[in-house]
Homo-oligomer: A and B are copies of this chain.
Amino acid sequence: MSTSAAQQPSPQLFFQTINAHMRTEALKSAIELEVFTAIGEGNTTAAEIAKRCQTSEKGMRVLCDYLAIMEMLTKKDGHYALTLDSSVFLDKRSPAYLGGATEFLCSPMLTEGARHLTDAVRKGGTAMENDGTIGPDHPIWVKFARGMAPMMALPAQLIAQLVDPNSDRKLKILDIAAGHGLFGINFAMKNPQAEVTAVDWKAVLEVAKENAEKAGVAERHHTIEGSAFDVEFGTGYDLVLLTNFLHHFDAPTCESLLRKVHAALADGGRAVTLEFVPNEDRVTPPDAAGFSMMMLSGTPSGDAYTFAELERMFANAGFSRSTLHPLPPTIQQVVISEK
């Protein structure tokens, strides 16, 4: 683009952004109608896909064109095809199918917070009643545990590899707000001497137990029912896992939990935190930095914390040293904090 063209104001970004909600709706509809699965099965024209998904041909043509515009499909000579990403994550027959995550990510509880964003900005936290998603025993976390597991399988493997590369010693692990349980379970799968204790709401732990069973590590997978802020953790842990948990709370609340974590760790033990960690500018990298908006709209005082902020919380809770580790290809990072 020439300089003069670049300097001409355009309402295009305004228009795209104000209509961005349609991207969400189109993806939800495509998942619900099993469009990606239909294409994976070999249906490539709007007519064929419409027949398989029991829709009108016109509606399917418009939807598939929109998915192609969003680069979730390709289109050539009237034939649609899956991209690498959509074949891996959106075809129901794929083991990494993520379609179930929409049950969590698009649940009214999460989108409700977004619809009251102006009030959340005024207040500095969610405008939903009962503390939004972090209220006690919220049923959303069962949806989370079921829907997000496929999305977390890879990071869970990568973390076990990062933290316990040799798998050659006894590990007593506390998995806080375990959800689907995959983070602890992956350590247990990799290291036969690892024993995991998962903490979460009772209904959520049922999902973690199912997953431990499936992974063949049920005997080394134990549970503590309740809020991580209330229950007794016990002591002598080599690792405490804090995966996607701290972002729901403000710094003082995190620090009080981290003091409890510190007390539960054995000497030389480590806290392992998985988080969306923006750079100091808080606007890069975009996906990690933008996560703060989810926390503003959905929690009373959560945030996406920078490494400096996380480091300070751990230091205030008595940890001697924290280090930051990228976890490619995920957009999240791991903070390892030593007792």
**Contact residues of A with B, CB < 8 Å?**
5, 7-29, 32-33, 54-63, 65-66, 68-72, 75, 84-85, 87-90, 96, 98, 101-102, 105-106, 111, 114-115, 117-118, 120-125, 151, 281-283, 286-287, 289-290, 292-297, 303, 329, 331
Contacts and interface: CB of A to CB of B under 8 A. Distances in A.
Contact of A9 (B69, B71, B84): B84
Contact of A13 (B9, B15, B85): B85
- Report the 4 A-B pairs with minimum CB-CB distance, sorted nearest first: A56-B124, A59-B121, A20-B23, A9-B88
A18 B101 contact: yes
Counting every copy of the chain, the complex holds 2
A265 to B, nearest CB: 31
B289 A121 contact: no
A121 B8 contact: no
Contact of A283 (B22, B68, B96, B290): B68
Contacts of A68: 283
A36 to B, nearest CB: 10
Nearest to A285: B69
Given A33-B121, A56-B124, A106-B18, A11 B62 contact: no
A112 to B, nearest CB: 11
Nearest to A293: B66
Q: A102, A122, A287 — which one has the most chain B CB atoms within 10 A of its CB?
A: A122
A115 B25 contact: yes
Nearest to A288: B69
Contact of A292 (B14, B24, B65): B65
A90 to B, nearest CB: 7
B102 A18 contact: yes
A51 to B, nearest CB: 12
A83 B32 CA distance: 38
Q: A117, A122, A151 — which one has the most chain B CB atoms within 10 A of its CB?
A: A117
A13 B98 contact: no
B89 A287 contact: no
A57 B124 contact: yes
18 contacts: A8-B329, A9-B85, A9-B89, A10-B85, A12-B331, A14-B98, A33-B122, A56-B123, A56-B124, A58-B125, A59-B120, A59-B124, A59-B125, A63-B121, A63-B293, A65-B282, A66-B293, A69-B283
Q: A18, A90, A120 — which one has the most chain B CB atoms within 10 A of its CB?
A: A18
B13 A24 contact: no
Given A9-B89, A33-B118, A124-B59, A27 B22 contact: no
Nearest to A250: B58
Nearest to A32: B118
Nearest to A71: B13
B65 A289 contact: yes
A10 to B, nearest CB: 6
A62 B23 CA distance: 22
A225 to B, nearest CB: 30
Contacts of A69: 283, 286, 289-290
B22 A56 contact: no
B111 A21 contact: yes
